[in-house]
Structure 1
Amino acid sequence: MQPFRFIHAADLHLDSLFIGLSGVTDQVRAHLRESTFAALENLVQLGVEEKVDFIVLSGDIYDAGQSSLRAQLRFQEAMQQLEHHGIPVYMIHGNHDPLDSPKANLRVPSNVHVFGPEVEKVIACHRGTGEPVAVVGGVSYRTSSITDNLALSFTRDSASNLFHIAILHANVDGNNEHDSYAPCTRNDLFRSGFDYWALGHIHKRQVLSVSPAIVYPGNIQGRHIKETGPKGCYVVDVNEESKCSLTFHELANVRWYEEELSIDGMQTEEDLKLNIEELLDVIREKSARKMSLVRIHITGRGILHHKLEAGYVLEDLLQEIRRREALHPVHQLVWIEKIKVATSAEVDHQLLIEEDSFLGELFRLGQKAERDEKLGEEIVDSALAPLAENRHIRQLLNKMSHEDKINLIKRAKEMAAALLHDHSDLG
């Protein structure tokens, strides 16, 4: 079989809004707004530079059913660039951009094949020789909510010896962090006989199987704090024996980070400022000429705890660091998305646990609750019961994980120690 190369990308979410960001300058906001389009441009450039034979896009090209005209025009322009270089594109639509969503009446470039609401197959060829190299099957979402197992409709052409690629937007094996659209199992994909499953929908990059290859490339641009790290696509090389190797390429123009910074050993606000700035410089070095957004978790024990609990010190410090960061060129800027405080006072916890006092009893109960899952659940549920009378708050409480509840217990212990610290001889 003729060796060939293709790109697998998914979840472009063009013109997606970066929501939940506060204090953002106009320069930062404009760069974020452009970031999904910059990632698309990087995808096109990669395809040209890597001399790929074709590209597969596994759904959610756009970010919402009512796709912006701007997003559609920019996508059309990108496809026309690939058309100019003779690179075919095989694509499907997912739950964010189903076939029935309103779209502008724009010409689809001749190099783009959009799969319909039923599974169909086409032949992909080597760009240099024109020799057929792969059977590509795909199916688009007719509407935004597809609960059928679409994977069961994919069957290998028994008469063909070509490499078989399936393009599917689906939740494999019930990933709880994403809606269960087109749910299926790995066994469903194994039974199909396809060699490569080009999946979309899950934004975390992962290879579920090597043979056959079952691959989520993740989205091409992170858009919030749950989408940290490098984002991009896979370049897939298939050899004469139908074995494929995957190489990840970052496409994102903005990278998200979540970092922890301890106040252990810090004495002053100046110490904290310098440590935060040092952390931002480390991130700047990692980002390699990309804008970065970071959420910082302030942890540890120390004399700064009481000042941080007051709130105004951290707020003033955040605004000042943001002001200084805004002076950097946009491609070197590290923007603090949020700072969350989980510090504690300088209190000897072991001494408290052993002491016959209110705090001692509280810490002993908290320690037991952290080890006993059932007890921990009962304590938190009982404490929050009055709040559950409000329907909206009740919905939020129902989404709390066991880890969230244990963190509440830990926080309650620390707050109690901090509040009573000045009125005791402890610490």
Structure 2
Amino acid sequence: MKAFRFLHAADLHLDTPFSGMSGVPDRLRGLLRESTFAAFDRLVRLAIEEAVDFVVISGDIYDASDSSLRAQLRLREGWDKLGEHGIPVYMIRGNHDPLSGRRLRLALPGHVYEFGPRAESVTAVRRHDGEPVAVLTGTSYPTPAVHDNLALQYRREPGSVLYHIGLLHGNVDGQEGHDAYAPCSLRDLEASGYDYWALGHIHKRQILCESPWVVYPGNIQGRSLKETGPKGCYLVDVAENGEARLTFRRLDQVLWMESRLSIDGLTTEEAWKGSVEEWLDELREAEPGRITVARLTFTGRGPLHTLLQSGPEAAELLQELRRQESGRLEEAGFAAADAGGLMPGEGIVWPAGFKLETGVELDREGLMAEDSFLGELFRLGERTSAEPEYVDELVRAALAPLSDNRQLRRLLQEQDPEAKQDLLRRAEELAAALLNEDTPFPREGRGAS
């Protein structure tokens, strides 16, 4: 077998609308809307720079079945650039861009191969010498919802010594958070005899198995705070002995993230404000040339808890930080990517919102030593927390009035032991706050957005 290199990407979701974010200036909103295209441009550039033999894309190229003409034109532009360098593309369609899409599509160039509604195989070759190196098998979604186990259609060609790659857009082993389309098991994929499963549909990057390789590259660009962390694709080098080496390469222009900041040790508003600004500077330095959209959760205990929970300070600081970042956005001139595919200048950090999970200062040991109602309450909580079955019983009894609501009942059933311990601790703190006339009612989870 000859050594070769390919690029595996999935879930491009070109032209995602990015709705639902409040307080975002028009310029930033435009950059968010453009970010999926920017990531795709970097994918094309990466394939050319790394001189890959071919590119595989495992579904959901578009964000909607009736894809915009703009998305189609930008996609065709990328295909043409790859064609100029002799790089073929093998692609399947997923639930967001099925073959049944209503809008007429631009014709695909000859070097782009789109798999049909039934599993079919083609042979890929090395670009520089035309030597066959891999058998690629794929199937596209004919309609938006496919509930059949498509993996059962994939079987290795008997006697073939070529590397076998399966393109599949589906849900392996019922992963939560995504529709159960084209459901299959890891065992199904292992039984196929294939060497590499180029998966799509799950937006979280993960390698489920290394023998054979079963790989979700995730989407190339995060689109909300549900899709946090670096996004990109895998560059795959296959050696002559069939062993593969995977390298994750970032493509995202916008990084979405959740972050936490403790108020422990902070005693003044000025110290708190300085801590938040320092957090923003660190994020800006960590991601130069990118836009970071971050939601900050305040944790810990201290005298600032009362101020943050009851006053307007968190909302006012958020508004001021957004005003400052809007100014940086204008000054930085984030208008076009440089030769490396990043925006020029320092990074931009947009605070998407604040969440408050702080607590009052409590001297637990001192309270448990008191001969008082609170002392007895905390001693009871300490004894209960040491026995998981007592925690389960207490939480179940306390939340019984909510059990008539089906959704709440399901959420309560899904609570793990750690979450139940957290509920117990919150109840103790709430009782302490309510019994202390100097402390206002604490609103857990309150925040600004």
Change (3 A) 1:73 1:377: farther
**What is the Cα deviation at residue 17 of structure 1?**
3.0
Aligned to 2:434: 419
SS of the residue 1:326 aligns to: helix
Give the TM-score normalised by structure 2.
0.88
Deviations 1:237-267 (A, max 9, x none): 1111111111110000011222111111111
**What is the Cα deviation at residue 67 of structure 1?**
2.6
For the residues of structure 2 that align with 1:334 and 1:100, how far apart are their CA atoms?
Answer: 40
2:29 is the alignment partner of 1:16: no
SS of the residue 1:23 aligns to: coil
Contact 1:72–1:104 (8 Å) recurs in 2 = no
For the residues of structure 1 that align with 2:21 and 2:380, how far apart are their CA atoms?
Answer: 38
Aligned to 1:225: 225
**What is the Cα deviation at residue 177 of structure 1?**
2.7
Contact 1:7–1:54 (8 Å) recurs in 2 = yes
SS of the residue 1:57 aligns to: strand
Change (3 A) 1:375 1:36: farther
**What is the Cα deviation at residue 354 of structure 1?**
4.0
For the residues of structure 2 that align with 1:219 and 1:175, how far apart are their CA atoms?
Answer: 16
For the residues of structure 2 that align with 1:198 and 1:179, how far apart are their CA atoms?
Answer: 18
Change (3 A) 1:384 1:208: same
**What is the Cα deviation at residue 416 of structure 1?**
2.9
SS of the residue 1:343 aligns to: coil
For the residues of structure 2 that align with 1:363 and 1:72, how far apart are their CA atoms?
Answer: 63
**What is the Cα deviation at residue 72 of structure 1?**
2.3
AA of the residue aligned to 1:39: A
Aligned to 2:133: 133
SS of the residue 1:335 aligns to: strand
Q: Which runs of 5+ in 1 are unaligned?
A: none
Change (3 A) 1:323 1:380: farther
AA of the residue aligned to 2:218: G
Aligned to 1:90: 90
Contact 2:72–2:105 (8 Å) recurs in 1 = no
Aligned to 1:358: 373
For the residues of structure 1 that align with 2:101 and 2:393, how far apart are their CA atoms?
Answer: 46
Deviations 1:62-117 (A, max 9, x none): 22333333222222222222122221110111122222232333111211111111
AA of the residue aligned to 1:48: I
2:251 is the alignment partner of 1:251: yes
AA of the residue aligned to 1:402: Q
Moved more, 406-415 or 269-278: 406-415
Pairwise mapping of residues 25-424 of structure 1 onto structure 2 (< 5 A)?
A: 25-328=25-328, 329=332, 330=334, 331=343, 332-367=347-382, 370=385, 375-377=390-392, 379-380=394-395, 382-384=397-399, 386=401, 394-395=406-407, 398-399=410-411, 401-403=414-416, 406-422=421-437
AA of the residue aligned to 1:112: V
**What is the Cα deviation at residue 418 of structure 1?**
2.7
For the residues of structure 1 that align with 2:368 and 2:76, how far apart are their CA atoms?
Answer: 65
For the residues of structure 2 that align with 1:305 and 1:291, how far apart are their CA atoms?
Answer: 30
AA of the residue aligned to 1:347: L
Runs of 4+ in structure 1 deviating by more than 6 angstroms, as ranges, are: none
Deviations 1:156-212 (A, max 9, x none): 111321111100012112212322222222221111111111011111111122221
**What is the Cα deviation at residue 374 of structure 1?**
5.2
Change (3 A) 1:375 1:111: farther
Give the TM-score normalised by structure 1.
0.92
Question: Between Structure 1 and Structure 2, how many residues are aligned?
Answer: 421
RMSD: 2.2
Contact 1:306–1:418 (8 Å) recurs in 2 = no
For the residues of structure 1 that align with 2:426 and 2:19, how far apart are their CA atoms?
Answer: 28
AA of the residue aligned to 2:93: H
Change (3 A) 1:17 1:358: farther
For the residues of structure 2 that align with 1:355 and 1:260, how far apart are their CA atoms?
Answer: 34
Deviations 1:358-397 (A, max 9, x none): 33344345455655555545545555555566x6xx4255
SS of the residue 1:134 aligns to: strand
SS of the residue 1:295 aligns to: strand
SS of the residue 1:327 aligns to: helix
**What is the Cα deviation at residue 226 of structure 1?**
2.7
Change (3 A) 1:298 1:107: same
SS of the residue 1:421 aligns to: coil
**What is the Cα deviation at residue 414 of structure 1?**
2.5
SS of the residue 2:80 aligns to: helix
AA of the residue aligned to 2:410: N
